[in-house]
Structures are given as C-alpha cells and as structure tokens.
Amino acid sequence: MSAPTPHVLPGATLGVIGGGQLGRMFVHAAQRMGYFTAVLDPDAESPAGRVSHHHIHTDYTDVDGLARLAGLAEAITTEFENVPAPSLENLAVARPVAPAAASVAIAQDRIREKAHFVRCGVACAPYAVIETAEQLAAVADDLLPGILKTARLGYDGKGQQRVATPAELAAAWEATGGVPCVLEKRLALDYECSVIVARGQDGQMVHFPPQRNLHRDGILAVTEVYPGNIPVGQAARAIESTRAIADGLGYVGVLCVEYFVLADGTMVVNEMAPRPHNSGHWSMDACDLSQFDLQVRTVAGLPLSTPRQHSPAVMLNLLGDLWFVDASDTTVEPPWADVLALPGVHLHLYGKTDARRGRKMGHLNITGPDIDTVRSTADFAAAVLG
C-alpha cells in the first residue's frame, strides 16, 4: 500500500516513468502549472526527456535510476503500462505513486484484466484463456473466427493474430512461442468508443464525455467528440462501467477504458489503459481541463473538477506514413503550413526524430462552432496531408 497522497504543490518536482509522447504531454501540463519535472527513460532522445527539467537515462528496472527519480520527484506517475510493476512498488516505498503498481499489473495482463472486468460486472467479448496445450485443444468452436492476443506487451494491434480455424489457432499460438494468450471471438463492430476518468486518492472521480473512435489496422486513426456522437443510453452505460472498473481497482490517476458496440446495441469492454490515452488527446484543445491536467492533479493529490467540453472536436492521428511520399525510404516533412491555414486546427508533434510507418508522430485536434464544420475541416486537413 502506498502512503496517502499529501498535496504536492507547484514548485515541487513531479516524476514520470517513460519518456514517450504521453510523458511529454504530462510534462508540458505539469510545467504550465509551475512544477519541475523528472523523466526516467533509457532513450536520450525520448520525446518527454527532451522537454523535462531532469532526464534520467536508465532502464526502468535500474535500481540506481529509480533511486535518483525518487530523490528528485515528490510524486511519481507513469506514461505506459509496460513499466515493470516491481519498479513502481520500489518507488512507492519512498514516494506517492499513481497509478499504483497493483492497478498497472492488472492492466498489463489481458487475462487478469478480463477477470477484473467480469468481477466488476462488465461483460467482455466471449474469450478463452490459452496458457497450455490442453486449454488450446479445449477451445470452443464458437470462438472462431477469433483474434489471438498475447496476454502481455501488445499495443497498436501488435501481438495479435486473426485465426479462422482450429489449425490456424494452433499455428498462431505456436508462433507466439506458446506464451499466455487470450482468444477472443471476432465481433462485427458497429462502432468503438472509450471513456476516460480521473480518480483521486479520496475516491473523487470525474469523467470526460465518451469518445467515438475509428481504428485502422488496429491503430487509432480518428476520435470524434460532440453531443450525440454516441446514443445517450450507450454513453451512460460506458461511463457507469468505467467508473465501476476504476472503483473496483481503488484506482488513482487517469484511466481509459475501451468498448466495442455491436449492431444490436450490445456493449462489451475491450481493454483498459492505466494512463492518459490517445483517444483523449482532443481534450487538450476542446476542454477547459485536459486529460494531462487531470493526471497532474491526481499524482499531486490536488482536487479534481469535471472537465467541460467547450467545442466539438475531431482528433486525427499523424502516423509516420505521412512522411513517406512514395514506396521508397525517403521521408519528407508533411505540408504543415497548408494544414495550419485551415481554421481551428491545433498541431501537436511529439518531437520524434525519425518517421517510421505506423509510428505515432503527432496528432491534429480540430475544433469549431459545430461538428459539421469541424468534420469538413478535418476532411480538408486529411486531403492536404494526402
């Protein structure tokens, strides 16, 4: 158990494990409030490390690096779920850490994650755990066609294989090296949505309006948030389920839960992320408090307040593919000036030096007076970017 979080006020240093774009946006939010920041990430060029006051270049399990982080930072958070849970436990001895190692450990493992959802009374897609050859042989036929997902270390569709027959399933499991997996039934999705909550040490919880998300090739491409983006009843159910999942964890921090909605209106939970989420980036320009502002408040033990959306929003992810003009390996900077000529466009780039196909390089938030205007600007921006 970590100690109760005291208020850590501006002027103090906040720490974050992981130096990716989510850490960078946390650092920006913390600095705007007057905090100093410390990032622990082995990569000297990490997006967050480059904008932080302190950057500790060690591995996430390095005892000396963790001790330096605990020495500098009065409260600590994480920006990606694959931070080894023992590192968070180690830090929590010295400093308040949010989210707690126990929550992160559940979110890191699809098997434990699904068990938690079921415990909270939230239905998942039909699934089977595959950890042994016996479990593989016992898989019910009605889970096929399905998606085999490794229990650990998947993101952006990585670690997933589509399988249609028992033979394909067996080959796919073998291809993982026989690591623990879940087989999920492949569902015909009407749409996908997600809900982000921030929960404080005292159990106070606030949420953002549900996000409607479009994925391409397993990677988030577009998020839309406006009144009516999701039928009211489904939105209420997603919010209620997310709050139950966060309460069930005794969660402290920002948590995102993703849902699938089927044609008949059935809603099932997909997965959760114990941190701010790509589908919440719209909040940076369309709300009075962003998901990163609320992350700062949860880790600092400060009061939360319900974020108010002041504009409809569309978020377009900017993947490295946009830097490639043809089939060659030559990269060209996209035409930002042309995109910025459009009204209500907010460009966020993460400072990553090399573009790679499928790599998240930044995002565009588009705001405007109504969703039709915002959408047509988003269409223009997408066309300009090719």
Structural contact between residues 225 and 286, judged by C-beta atoms closer than 8 angstroms: yes
Which lies closer to ligand ADP via its Cβ, residue 217 or residue 333? Answer: 217
The distance of closest approach from Cβ of residue 34 to ligand ADP in the complex, given in angstroms and rounded to an integer, is 34
Torsion angle of the four alpha carbons 82, 87, 93, 97, in this order, in degrees rounded to the nearest 10: -30
Which lies closer to ligand ADP via its Cβ, residue 300 or residue 316? Answer: 316
Site membership for ligand ADP, residue 79 (CB under 6 A): no
Site membership for ligand ADP, residue 84 (CB under 6 A): no
Site membership for ligand ADP, residue 126 (CB under 6 A): no
CA angle centred on 87, ends 4 and 195, rounded to 5° = 65
User: In a 10 Å sphere around its CB, with 0-12 CB exposed, 13-18 middle and 19+ buried, how is residue 373 labelled?
Assistant: middle
- Residues in region 242-261 near ligand ADP by CB under 6 A: 258
Rounded CA Rg of the chain: 21
Choosing from 81, 109, 192, 293, the residue that interacts with ligand ADP (CB under 6 A) is 192
For 213, 222, 319, 325, 347, the CA distances from 386, given in Å and listed in that order, are 21, 15, 12, 9, 16
The distance of closest approach from Cβ of residue 338 to ligand ADP in the complex, given in angstroms and rounded to an integer, is 30
Amino acid 310 reads H
Choosing from 271, 322, 363, 364, the residue that interacts with ligand ADP (CB under 6 A) is 271
Which lies closer to ligand ADP via its Cβ, residue 84 or residue 157? Answer: 157
Site membership for ligand ADP, residue 125 (CB under 6 A): yes
How far apart CA 310 and CA 328 sit, in angstroms, is: 43
Going by their DSSP bridges, the two strands 181-185 and 127-130 should be labelled as antiparallel
CA angle centred on 157, ends 298 and 82, rounded to 5° = 40
Choosing from 16, 122, 139, 147, the residue that interacts with ligand ADP (CB under 6 A) is 147
The distance of closest approach from Cβ of residue 242 to ligand ADP in the complex, given in angstroms and rounded to an integer, is 15
Choosing from 41, 113, 184, 285, the residue that interacts with ligand ADP (CB under 6 A) is 184
Number of residues that bind ligand ADP (CB under 6 A): 17
User: In a 10 Å sphere around its CB, with 0-12 CB exposed, 13-18 middle and 19+ buried, how is residue 57 labelled?
Assistant: middle
Site membership for ligand ADP, residue 278 (CB under 6 A): no
Choosing from 155, 164, 303, 358, the residue that interacts with ligand ADP (CB under 6 A) is 155
Structural contact between residues 365 and 313, judged by C-beta atoms closer than 8 angstroms: yes
Token pair listed for 232? 């009211």
Choosing from 42, 84, 180, 218, the residue that interacts with ligand ADP (CB under 6 A) is 218
- Looking at 99-107, 187-195, 234-242, 320-328, which segment touches ligand ADP (CB under 6 A)? 187-195
Site membership for ligand ADP, residue 156 (CB under 6 A): yes
CA-based nearest residue to 211, from 295, 291, 287, 279: 279
- Looking at 21-29, 184-192, 223-231, 338-346, which segment touches ligand ADP (CB under 6 A)? 184-192
Q: Which residues of 110-128 are buried (b: 16+ CB within 10 A; e: fewer)?
A: bbebbebbeebebebbebb
- Looking at 76-84, 147-155, 233-241, 314-322, which segment touches ligand ADP (CB under 6 A)? 147-155
Site membership for ligand ADP, residue 109 (CB under 6 A): no
Site membership for ligand ADP, residue 129 (CB under 6 A): no
Amino acid 101 reads A
Going by their DSSP bridges, the two strands 127-130 and 75-78 should be labelled as unpaired
Site membership for ligand ADP, residue 377 (CB under 6 A): no
Site membership for ligand ADP, residue 186 (CB under 6 A): yes
Contacting residues for 145 by C-beta, under 8 A, at least 6 apart? 162, 163, 164, 185, 186
Choosing from 187, 239, 382, 385, the residue that interacts with ligand ADP (CB under 6 A) is 187
Site membership for ligand ADP, residue 215 (CB under 6 A): yes
Site membership for ligand ADP, residue 157 (CB under 6 A): yes
Q: Which residues bind ligand ADP (CB under 6 A)?
A: 125, 147, 149, 154-157, 184, 186-187, 189, 192, 215, 218, 258, 270-271
